[in-house]
């Protein structure tokens, strides 16, 4: 399966812990987008990365959240000192080209639950 791979599919953390979500884009894709979906809502853009660069982080909360897409390996969305309000489904999408009319392809998401 050459689709977007996200892991883990489910992640449970206690308040104050760190959550690390991983995303491997489709083969040949070098542009990664992270979105968050709260229950009964649409997906909300968080951050857009190209290899080793953050292109647009306008949707990222100012504190506790960070993202990276290193030269080698998956993209990582990191949430430090998690709170109950961070409980959501986090989706990663990739595209072959950024800034173009090519659809983004999504992974199946990581469902984060905060106890």
Partner 1 sequence: DQQVKQNSPSLSVQEGRISILNCDYTNSMFDYFLWYKKYPAEGPTFLISISSIKDKNEDGRFTVFLNKSAKHLSLHIVPSQPGDSAVYFCAASASSGTYKYIFGTGTRLKVLA
How many Å apart are CA 65 and CA 83, to the nearest integer? 12
Does position 98 interact with partner 1 (CB under 8 A)? The reply is yes
SS3 97: coil
Q: Which of residues 36-95 bind partner 1 (CB under 8 A)?
A: 40-45, 48, 55-56, 58-59, 91, 93, 95
Applying CB under 8 A, which part among 14-22, 33-41, 62-70, 77-85 lies near partner 1?
33-41
In the complex, minimum distance from the CB of residue 41 to partner 1, in angstroms, rounded to a whole number:
6
Which is nearer to partner 1, 9 or 15 (by Cβ)? 9
List Cα–Cα distances, 103 to 37, 63, 100, in angstroms: 19, 30, 9
- Residues whose CB falls within 8 Å of the CB of residue 58, separated by 6 or more in sequence, listed in order: 45
How many Å apart are CA 34 and CA 54, to the nearest integer? 11
In the complex, minimum distance from the CB of residue 16 to partner 1, in angstroms, rounded to a whole number:
27
Contact (Cβ atoms closer than 8 angstroms) between residue 50 and residue 69: yes
Does position 18 interact with partner 1 (CB under 8 A)? The reply is no
Contacting positions for partner 1 (CB under 8 A): 4, 6, 33, 35, 40-45, 48, 55-56, 58-59, 91, 93, 95, 98-101, 103-109, 111
């Amino acid at each position: 399966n050459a689709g977007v791979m996200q892991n883990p599919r489910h992640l449970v953390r206690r308040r104050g812990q760190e959550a690390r979500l991983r995303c491997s884009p489709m083969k040949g894709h070098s542009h990664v987008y992270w979105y968050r979906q709260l229950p009964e809502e649409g997906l909300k853009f968080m951050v857009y990365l190209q290899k080793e660069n953050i292109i647009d982080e306008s949707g990222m909360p100012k504190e506790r959240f960070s993202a990276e897409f290193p030269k080698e390996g998956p993209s990582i969305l990191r949430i430090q000192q998690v709170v109950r309000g961070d409980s959501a489904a986090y989706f990663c999408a990739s595209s072959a080209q950024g800034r173009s009319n090519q659809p983004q392809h999504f992974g199946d998401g990581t469902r984060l639950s905060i106890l």
